[in-house]
Amino acid sequence: MELETDITRIEVMTRLNGADDAEYRRLLETCDLAPEEVDAIVHRHYREVAGHIECRVCGNCCKVFRPLLKPEDIDRLAGRLKISREAFMKKYIVEYEDGQGWFFKDVPCPFLVDNSCSVYPDRPGICRSYPNLHTGGFVSRLGIVFSSCSVCPIVYNVYEGVKREIRAGQIPAMSSEDQ
């Protein structure tokens, strides 16, 4: 399996493929596959790709995104740093304008050190689940997924693999593991 891991090349290819990807999104939204079947294909590609790309070596998502933090994330991180919740909030985070949560003040993440998460065991929940290719609803999240293609080598390679497979019509029967 040949994977693209150079984030600069991925950013360029994602930009160049913009119109092609709009067509692909329309294809996915209108194809004869049920959303669950598309999810099964995505999950299979995710398992294949994720086993070959180490997130903690890349760290690009931590350089670009400002994750939504929940109260339990704040408490866990404050505990790890052995500071009060209030001190943590004052130093590291700001509240969303709508008052529905918090995010880090700065990008890159203040806990990214040499492309690695210095608080990895206690990282926020949203960071734990990223890139969310193991969950359902791929077709309903295509805009978000596509925007992550230029950020995450795993997302890019899964997206491209699924695209090739669906365009080629090489849809294998779902295994019990995929269902």
97 shares its domain with 137: no
Residue range(s) defining the domain that contains residue 47: 7-56+131-168
* pTM recorded for the entire structure: 0.85
Domain boundary residue, one of 128, 143, 159: 128
In a domain, 175, yes or no: no
Residue 29 parent element (H or E): helix 18-30
What is the model's pLDDT at position 172? Answer: 44
* CB-based contacts of 145, cutoff 8 Å, min separation 6: 133, 138, 155, 159
Residue 146 placed within a domain: yes
Residues 109 and 72 in one domain: yes
Is 70 found in the same domain as 124? yes
Q: What is the pLDDT of residue 40?
A: 96
109 plus 81 within the same structural domain: yes
Tell me what pLDDT residue 154 has: 97
pLDDT of residue 118: 95
Instruction: Please tell me whether residues 99 and 146 are part of one structural domain.
Output: no
Same domain for 109 and 152? Answer: no
Q: What is the pLDDT of residue 18?
A: 76
Return d(Cα 67, Cα 78) in angstroms, integer.
16
pLDDT in tens, 69-105: 999 999 999 999 999 999 999 999 999 888 888 999 9
With CA atoms as reference, report the closest residue to 49 among 179, 138, 162, 143: 162
In this structure, are 121 and 139 located in the same domain? no
| 30-39 residues labelled b (16+ CB within 10 A) or e (exposed) | eeeeeeebbb
Residue 95 lies in a domain: yes
Asked if residue 119 and residue 154 are part of one domain, the reply reads no
Same-domain status, 106 and 156: no
Residue 102 lies in a domain: yes
Q: How many domains does the chain have?
A: 2
Low-confidence ranges of the chain (pLDDT < 50): 172-176, 178-179
90, 110: one domain = yes
> What per-residue confidence (pLDDT) applies to 173?
41
Domain contains 50: yes
Domain assignment present for 92? yes
Are 118 and 154 within one domain? no
**Within a domain: 164:** yes
Task: Indicate if 75 and 107 belong to the same structural domain.
Answer: yes
Query: Residue 90's pLDDT is what?
Result: 97
